[in-house]
Amino acid sequence: MGNFCGRPLETLPLSTNPGEEVIRTVTSIRDSFILIKSLGSGSFGNVFLVKDKRTGLERAAKELTKSNINERIAPEVYNELMVMKGLDHPGVLRLYEILETSTRVYIITEYLSGGQLFERLSRSPKVSEKLAAKYIFDLILALSLCHKNGLIHRDIKPENLLFENDAPDAHLKMIDFCLSRLGIINEGSDQKAQVGSVNYMAPERFSGECTEKSDIWSVGVILHVVLLGKVPFQGKTDAETIRRIIERPLVTTGKSWDTTSEEARSLIESMLNKNPSYRPSAQEILMHPWFYLYTKNTINENALHVESLTNLTKFHAKSKLEKSLFTFISSNISSKKDECKLGELFVKFDRNGDGTLSSAEINDGYDFIGTPPPPPVQDLLKKIGNTGMTIHYKDFLLHIQNWNKKVQFQELENSFKTYDKGGDGKLSLDELRAAIPGIEGSEWNSLLNEADLNGDGMITLDELKDYILTKMK
């Protein structure tokens, strides 16, 4: 793709302060950082926990593959990232620098270890309007600053709201600002991020419009989930959810609403106005009566209605399980494609052409393409160590596949445990199919049909465990 910004580096504003380097060209990220572990992967690539060799401080490194980036929009995103780097606010993820190799771009940010908003709320002994207002107030403060500087997030959802650490007073921060604009272009590469994302998208997004008011809608949905325990326009499929977002009025009746304050109800209704022109700005929201009560410490401190708390716990458990299932099933659907890519890498790394790889060849190969070895390869390198052993392609492939399967099984088990505590024991097959692109026509579609023993369109947790965690081993 050439340079990340699509034009020569010397023509770009490479710093926000005189003498400060913002983007650096390196051979490999390992020139400057020690790779500690993988933090996961998403639509934009892998995320690693790394240690800065210069300072010894831990950072997060988001890896973007250049060939996957929408080249047309990249320069604009770069400029937005530069604006973001100049922002200093406790609610905005701190961006330190950008590294560029021949094939990759790494966005180096602070490392957030405190987990997601809904995860913390589901563990909280008491959830009240006061606690909800604390988190949403901080979120709106950060959003107001970003909007004043011309930045639109475009993808506010639970996965992009993380706490800086586990402390009770930890700041809630927004991550992945601007990156949704990069528009990953490889087929299927952005599917994981789309699981559940449509629930947080404003009506105008489906006609191609996106403004600051679209962010306001997304935060309104977040607030609705926190106070009511469910998204406001959930359908059985994404298509039905979109129709409801565009057409269906907001429902503000029911047991959970009965114990929600008029001020909170008023704010949610204004933020979820179908017409973006009538939605309040972030600055206007800060002056809303609900936040006035919060800043005066007179807001309702009573626990939310038990139905809201139950719904919130179920919502978090169900979302976590669906995402784990999606990761597991979709990775099996695409395993043949991944196998071809691994084969191409093996040939490139095998410098002497003897059909085997040494640890040196593996390390040098990943350095050449400018990216750290993925976790299963790191695990393999530890096993090889300095023994002088080499590994054949079949063993190389088998180790990676077994490692990935082991990790996916563990993630599924953890999700099952969460769902056992917070779920209702059943999942809709229609919802699962809608959440997993590529499943139609695959063996997994037949598997889910077989697992539905009584043919009611629902699959129980025990049935799912039996079919996936036993028969697929």
Q: Tens digit of pLDDT for each residue in 120-161? A: 887 777 888 999 999 999 999 999 998 998 888 888 988 889
For residue 103 the two structure tokens come to: 């094939």
Backbone angles phi, psi at 19, to 5 degrees: 80, -5
- Consult the annotation and say whether 465 binds a ligand: no
84-105 mean pLDDT: 86
Catalytic residues: 155
Asked if the model's pLDDT at residue 4 lies above 50, the reply is no
Asked if the model's pLDDT at residue 434 lies above 90, the reply is no
Asked if the model's pLDDT at residue 378 lies above 90, the reply is no
160-179 mean pLDDT: 86
In tens, the pLDDT along 175-232 reads: 887 665 544 333 333 333 343 488 999 999 999 898 999 999 999 999 999 898 888 9
Asked if the model's pLDDT at residue 370 lies above 80, the reply is no
Q: Which residues have a Cβ under 8 Å from the Cβ of 412 and sit 6 or more positions away?
A: 324, 325, 328, 468, 469
Tell me how far apart the alpha carbons of residues 13 and 9 are, in angstroms, rounded to a whole number: 8
3-state secondary structure of 26: coil
Tell me how far apart the alpha carbons of residues 47 and 93 are, in angstroms, rounded to a whole number: 14
Q: Check if the beta carbon of residue 3 is closer than 8 Å to that of residue 345.
A: no
DSSP 280: P
pLDDT at residue 130, rounded to an integer:
93
333 pLDDT band, cuts 50/70/90, is: very low
Asked if the model's pLDDT at residue 2 lies above 60, the reply is no
In tens, the pLDDT along 225-236 reads: 989 888 899 887
Tell me how far apart the alpha carbons of residues 248 and 250 are, in angstroms, rounded to a whole number: 7
Tell me how far apart the alpha carbons of residues 239 and 89 are, in angstroms, rounded to a whole number: 37
26-40 mean pLDDT: 86
Angle, CA 276 vertex, CA 270 and CA 282 arms, to 5°: 60
pLDDT at residue 73, rounded to an integer:
65
What structural domains does the chain harbor?
A: 9-110 (3.30.200.20), 117-304 (1.10.510.10), 322-470 (1.10.238.10)
Asked if the model's pLDDT at residue 35 lies above 80, the reply is yes
Tell me how far apart the alpha carbons of residues 315 and 327 are, in angstroms, rounded to a whole number: 18
Question: Helices marked H in 334-358 — which ranges?
Answer: 335-349
Using a 10 angstrom Cβ sphere, with 0-12 exposed, 13-18 middle and 19 or more buried, the burial of residue 334 is: middle
